Amino acid sequence: MAIELVKENIEYEQLLGENTADNVVKAEYIIPDTNPDVKEILVLDAKPEIINKEVLQDKVFLEGQIEFNVLYLAKGEDKSEVYNVVYNSKFSNYVEVGGAVHKMLCDAECFVEHIDCTIINERKISVEGIIKLKAQVYNNYKFDIVKDVAGLNELQVLKNATSIDKVIGSKSMDLVAKSHLVIPQDKLQIGTILKCDINVHKKQTKLFEGKIAVEAFAHVEVLYKGKDARDLNYVEDDILISGESEMEDVNPTMDAFTDFRVEAMEFSLKEDDLGESRIIDVESLIKADVQISSKEDVDIVEDAYSPEVIMNLERKNYTMNVMYGHSTNDTIVKENIEIPSSTPAPIQIITTSGKTYITDKKIVEDKVVVEGLLAVNVIYRTADEDRYVCALEEEIPFGCTIDIPGAKIDMMCGTKASLENVEAFIEANTISVKGLISVCAKVNYITDKNFIIDVTPIEGEVPKKKSSITIYVVQRGDSLWKVAKKYNTTVDNITKVNELEEDSNLVPGEKLVIPGRAII
């Protein structure tokens, strides 16, 4: 009779390694002929993004692009005004990750660690800084383990429940955010749009039977200069975006990790019914990349034998990355920024923007401790006729603790931070900044697991029979299964002869009657 095997397919991703690299940005740019001369740099808004990634031998090759939006005070015949210029640059660099090979999975991200914009002369500016690149390489494992064995008479199978993290699948969803901003009559109509940004916040992912649902808000911010005027105005909108997608085998007990990113954005300026430029239509494509995983208790075959057939059990050891736990915590960042004595005092905040990134992370007992920076930029109005607009930049450190009970210092963790909200107020001779940052932490650990991957009978070999009984003295560490396998009988036979229960614990020194079966 042939052996019948029931197998379970296991697929999981194991973090091979992660590393960072610094990419130096250094370039000079000419002010377009359509713009006036530069008097003072107000804001340099740099938006880097990864556009291509490739895993090579022991490294990851990353390609990206950066958009620079420079806001500056221009030299005017009468009064200075704010103008902007936009430049684009590309970059490429390698991130060393030992053990990486082509076609491995990879996650990559980048952020501005430091950047400055200086004036070379009235028609030329210089941009210099560092873009931090980060790459994580994963090894994808797929294999079959033996879940059950059948097909032989009196086949003895020992099963044990083990917890396995399985990759259920991934899904990428396109979410479209559309905003129809109408400038009220108490504000100047639009002359020039200086800046348009979108920040995705309040992110949620929910799982249902066979379905994924994502939801977030796209916060649209527009800074513009009034028509035939130099005053700056700020308008905003918060748009609910959501999407659903079917995925087989998904259920609410599983874990979902979603990365939201702004893929593309465009805006257009339109006239209202009175012919005034008071309408801004903003449309953005936001990608939601969802990965679904599940921690499942699987009954696997730990051992098997037959009193009638000698079998070969093929085993293999796998090093597995096990998800221990994950959690999210919000932290409030507060700081009062002193106004430099050389800068006019603020009389009104025009707009506040910020970016956040993590500088350090570590696991202590039962928690993950994260340190990071909130890079904030505040544009404000002053009473000075010449420097009627000023900007202030500051990097504010923050710390956050995410509770994950049972986490140990020898485990590994991954973290991500996102800025939910930032605002600024004038307090005496300072600008008070308050930001809300959401920090997510995932804790993993590495363990070795041994699985039976195949069971085959050894042709031409059968256990030799004997008719006598054996008296066996129980040794330390013995179990009914071990004794039954040693004498090629069954647990059922031993328990019946010795009047024991199947779950009985054996005591060293006690004697068992082993019914006559076979001897190997």
pLDDT band at residue 39 under the 50/70/90 scheme: very high
Quick count: other Cβ atoms within 10 Å of Cβ 434? 15
Q: What angle do CA 226, 231, 232 make, to 5 degrees?
A: 80
DSSP string over 347-408:
EEEEEEEEEEEEEEEEEETTEEEEEEEEEEEEEEEES-SSS-EEEEEEEEEEEEEEE-TT--
pLDDT tens digits for range 200-245: 999 999 999 999 999 999 999 999 999 988 899 999 999 999 999 9
Taking residues 116-132, what's their average pLDDT? 95
| 1 or 282, greater pLDDT | 282
pLDDT, one tens digit per residue, over 433-474 is 999 999 999 998 888 888 999 998 887 666 666 557 889 999
Q: What is the pLDDT of residue 383?
A: 93
Q: How high is the pLDDT of residue 517?
A: 53
Average pLDDT over residues 158-181: 90
What rounded mean pLDDT belongs to the chain?
Answer: 91
Q: Specify the pLDDT at position 463.
A: 67
| Maximum C-alpha span of the chain | 116
Distance, CA of 274 to CA of 278 (rounded, Å):
9
Its sign, for the CA torsion 444, 445, 446, 447, is negative
Residues 67-93, mean pLDDT to the nearest whole number: 91
Q: What domains are there in the chain, each with its CATH number?
A: 10-143 (no CATH), 161-302 (no CATH), 324-451 (no CATH), 464-519 (3.10.350.10)
Q: Are 404 and 420 in contact (CB under 8 A)?
A: no
What's the pLDDT at 520? Answer: 39
Give the DSSP letter string of 140-201.
Answer: EEEEEEEEEEESSTT-EEEEEEEEEEEEEEEEEEEEEEEEEEE--TTSPPEEEEEEEEEEEE
In this prediction, residue 519 has a pLDDT band, given cuts at 50, 70 and 90, of very low
The answer to whether the beta carbons of residues 127 and 25 sit under 8 Å apart is yes
Position with higher pLDDT, 142 vs 344: 344
More confident: 321 or 331 = 331
Sign of CA dihedral 340, 346, 350, 352: positive
User: pTM of the full predicted structure?
Assistant: 0.85
Q: What is the mean pLDDT of residues 37-48?
A: 94
For 351-375, what is the mean pLDDT?
94
Q: What is the pLDDT of residue 467?
A: 59
Please provide the size of the chain in residues. 520
* β pairing state of 277-305 and 255-271: antiparallel
Q: How many helices (H) and strands (E) does the chain have?
A: 2, 22
Residue 280 has what pLDDT? 96
What is the model's pLDDT at position 465? 60
Give how far Cα 313 sits from Cα of 5, 160, 302, Å: 12, 16, 10
> Which of 38-47, 117-126, 231-240, 467-476 bottoms out in mean pLDDT, i.e. has the lowest?
467-476
Q: How far apart are CA 52 and CA 193, in angstroms?
A: 30
| Coil, helix or strand at residue 480 | helix
Asked whether residue 326 carries a pLDDT value surpassing 90, the answer given is yes
- 518 pLDDT band, cuts 50/70/90, is very low
pLDDT digits (tens, 9 = 90+) for 386-421: 899 999 999 999 999 999 999 999 999 989 999 999
